[in-house]
Amino acid sequence: MKLKSLILGSVAAAGLSTAGYAADLGVLTSLDVCDSLGISGLTISSSDNCLQITGGVSYEFNWGDFNGSANTIASNAGGLAADNVTVPDNDTVAGLDNDWNSKVETWLKFVGTASSDFGPASATIKLKSVHHFNAPNEVVAVGGDATGGVALGGVVPAGLTASGNGIWIVDEAFVSVGDTTTIMAGKKGSIANFGDDVPLNFLGLFNSENVDTGVMFAKNSIRTGGHSIQVVSTVADGLTLKAGLENLGGDSAAAGNNGYAALTQGQSAGSAVGVIEYAGNGIKAHVTGLAGGILDGVVENWGVHAGFTGTFDAFTVVGAGAYGANNAGVNYWNVLGSAKAQFDIFEIALSGEANGGSASPSQAGFGGSVGATVTEGVKLNLGGRWFDEDTAVANNESYQIAAQIVAAVAETITVTGEVGYYGTNKPAPAENDFYGAAELAWAPGGGFTSSVKGQVHQTGAYKVTFKAAKEFK
């Protein structure tokens, strides 16, 4: 970078000292291919290629007594087996009370771009590593991401396998070319749009939380991303069309998702994805359609996800729905609606959700919140949410109420405090729980963020969490 600056500075100085030759040499507008391509940040350039480098590191450490699991709230919300909303519980095991885990996530991304007759042409390589130690009841295990982790004792953390902890893997590797129309091929994330479906009340909704916030068909029933061929085209102002073939390598789907049977890699290979998106005039909307397992000539499962977000002066409205089915006749649906209004210092939000299907009971929930900006930098939130796991059966309801204060005590420091209560009329082992939490967040600039959070629960659980992260672009 210093060499590049020195060269540019020398050329500029030479230009100033030889102004008489300007007419012969012409006007020099740029000496750098990154500038001509509109690429900024940390870059290295040659005569025809610009290499942009980005990356980041995040760290999280948890300690306390929080590994208990006999306190299920909103069990199997959305009919998704193994997906529950829980609150921490203490768990004494032969005097081994303490739990802790430590995780480092690292990523490094390289994008090399050059100009072509069809628009910018680039190759992207993203490397990723996850190094994770987990100690439930003071028994240490170690794990990574999809490449796993070597078990030192106890159990490997959920979602981790037992080999190769912390190994760098190729998370993305693809080529692309184009401007208003872009063609992409290789290993990358999906073009599917599952957004415009976030509830606007501050606690959110129970089933929405289970599907990573929003609405969704049965989890992992249709595999996306991975080895892919994709086309994205902006066809009009604010209107974008996307089409792709994804999961071309084949990635088997697990059983137990709303009755969806397990698929072999051959059965699940190939997902057709199509998306229509619009963004403009305070409106965002999309429709995403998917068909899974098409390479063997049989559509194993299919799904649709649609969402809308509209902002009109002081009002914001969200509406979303998802539907999924398989070739065995199993289907699942999920809808959500939410609205928020701003009145001077007050903010009011209401949300509702419902879901069901052939392999899931009919379920419904709602939530609401009131926020007030009492002074500059200080906001109060009061809210609640409720969920009925089976509308046809009594004693299946759970709820949460909470009060929160968020205060910017300095330009770079924010303090958040929250007290709340989880309640249920479900039989044991479900538990009611009163809790309190406080968090100190620090963002001194330069992309660095850090926080310390402590929480205690009526169940006897307690946890302290430390986080720190930095990205460079």
Beta pairing, strands 378-388 & 360-375 = antiparallel
Q: So what's the pLDDT on residue 442?
A: 98
Q: CA distances (Å), 315 to each of 212, 280, 296, 312, 339, in order?
A: 25, 16, 48, 5, 7
Q: What pLDDT sits at residue 120? A: 96
CA dihedral (28, 33, 39, 41) in degrees, to 10, reads -90
Distances (CA, A) of 112 to 37, 121, 189, 405: 11, 8, 18, 45
Written as one string, the DSSP assignment of 58-105 is: EEEEEEEE--B---EESTTGGGBTT--EE--B---BTTB--EEEEEEE
Q: Which residues contact 201 (CB under 8 A, 6 or more apart)?
A: 338, 340, 349, 350, 351, 367, 368, 369, 383, 385
Q: How many CB atoms lie within 10 A of CB 11?
A: 12
Contact 386, 367 (CB under 8 A): yes
SS3 of 138, please? helix
DSSP letter string over 6-67? HHHHHHHHHHHHTGGGHHHH-----S-HHHHTT--SSEEE-SS-EEEEEEEEEEEEEEEE--
Q: Identify the three-state secondary structure at position 133.
A: strand
- Amino acid identity of residue 241, one-letter, is L
- The pLDDT assigned to 31 comes to 59
Looking at residue 79, what is its pLDDT? 45
Measured distance CA(335)–CA(273) in Å, rounded? 21
**Residue 226 CB contacts under 8 Å (≥ 6 apart), including other chains:** 187, 246, 247, 248, 249, 251
The pLDDT value given to residue 151: 35
The distance from CA 134 to its chain's CA centroid, rounded to whole angstroms, is: 22
Domain ranges of the chain: 1-31
Helical residues (DSSP H) of 213-347, grouped into ranges? 265-268
Chain mean position to CA 32: 35
Beta-bridged to residue 448, according to DSSP, are 445, 470
- Digit-by-digit pLDDT tens for the chain (473 residues) are 433 443 444 434 444 443 443 334 333 344 589 999 999 999 999 989 999 999 999 999 999 988 776 566 655 544 443 356 677 777 666 566 788 889 999 999 999 999 999 999 999 999 999 888 888 877 776 655 444 333 333 344 444 444 446 688 999 999 999 999 999 999 999 999 999 999 999 999 999 988 888 999 876 788 899 999 999 999 999 999 999 999 998 877 666 666 677 788 788 899 999 999 999 999 999 999 999 999 999 999 999 999 999 999 999 999 999 999 988 888 999 999 999 999 999 999 999 999 999 878 899 999 999 999 999 899 999 999 999 988 998 888 999 999 999 999 999 999 999 999 999 888 877 788 999 999 999 999 999 999 999 999 998 889 999 999 999 98
